Amino acid sequence: MSESKINEAAEIINNSENIVVFSGAGISTESGIPDFRSEGGIWSKYDLSYHGNYYVFLENPKPFWTMHNELTDQLENAEPNEAHKSIAELEKMGKVKAVITQNVDMLHQRAGSGKYKNIPIYELHGSYKKLECIKCGKEYELDEVDTKNVEYPVCDKCSGFIKPKVILFGESLPLGVLNAALNAVRKANCLIMVGSSLLVSPANSVPLIAKESGSKIIFINNESTIMDDLADIVLQGKAGEIFTELMKKIK
């Protein structure tokens, strides 16, 4: 990673008082949670178009829950890494004003995001800890429901299927959350994108909106993305390592 690019990115961050962070699965791989591309990870074991498909779930929730229970164990054992922690630190410094994430792992919150200045965390694809009955809408916390010693969990009120409030394939995003997130991007003067292939729509409209509203744009990703041309600076490498270098230069 070239020192001069790190310096340029640090200068943008030092001059920004309204930063929005936009993260994807790549920010959490250093915490041991595989992204869709990691070989040997949980995603290579399951067929997402089947186990993670909403219409399959409606017919039979068992394949989904088999996969999700395994994922949940991984998420519960993961710890936030330097990238998550630096973003929380930047909130503490009054710089980061919102976090938008495609992840369901809650590692931003566990690193402290949202605690220091009460900034919003927009979870575009939901969170693994919140569950709901798809028939009557009753909400549950993951800890309140036995998801493992049953074929699949059902609602104690109406016997409907219980599903985590994560967006499955075939479901659409909650528009309210997406709109609120895009509004935060419109008000920001800097967007930091971390660990996303930017292939998933409509979440990938975030960098486009940032560009449209004249924001500075920093990309931090292990590989190039289809939207690198939008960025003022592209820092290619591991997010945890890059944030560690960057934070040494942030005042």
Residues that bind ligand NAD (CB under 6 A): 24-26, 28-30, 33, 35-37, 102-105, 125, 195-197, 199-200, 221-223, 238-239
Q: Among Zn ion, ligand NAD, none, what binds residue 217 when CB lies within 5 to 8 Å by partner kind?
A: none
Q: Is the dihedral of CA 158, 164, 169, 171 positive or negative?
A: positive
Q: Which residues bind Zn ion (CB under 5 A)?
A: 133, 135-136, 138, 155, 157-158, 160
Alpha-helical runs (H) found in 60-118: 62-77, 82-92, 107-111
Minimum Å distance from CB 82 to ligand NAD? 10
Cα dist from 171 to 17, 54, 126, 129, 180, whole Å: 35, 6, 12, 18, 19
Minimum Å distance from CB 149 to ligand NAD? 25
Minimum Å distance from CB 100 to ligand NAD? 11
Q: Among Zn ion, ligand NAD, none, what binds residue 112 when CB lies within 5 to 8 Å by partner kind?
A: none
Six-digit token pair at 57? 């779930």
Residue 137 or 237 with smaller CB distance to Zn ion: 137
Distance CA 20, CA 210 (A): 9
Which of 51, 68, 108, 125 does the annotation list as catalytic?
125
Would you tell me how many other CB atoms lie within 10 Å of the CB of residue 189? 17
Residue 28 or 53 with smaller CB distance to ligand NAD: 28
Minimum Å distance from CB 90 to ligand NAD? 17
Q: Among ligand NAD, Zn ion, none, what binds residue 24 when CB lies within 5 to 8 Å by partner kind?
A: ligand NAD
State yes or no: is 84 an active-site residue: no
Identify each DSSP E strand in the chain by its residue range.
19-23, 96-101, 121-123, 126-133, 139-141, 162-166, 190-194, 216-221, 233-236
Active site members: 125
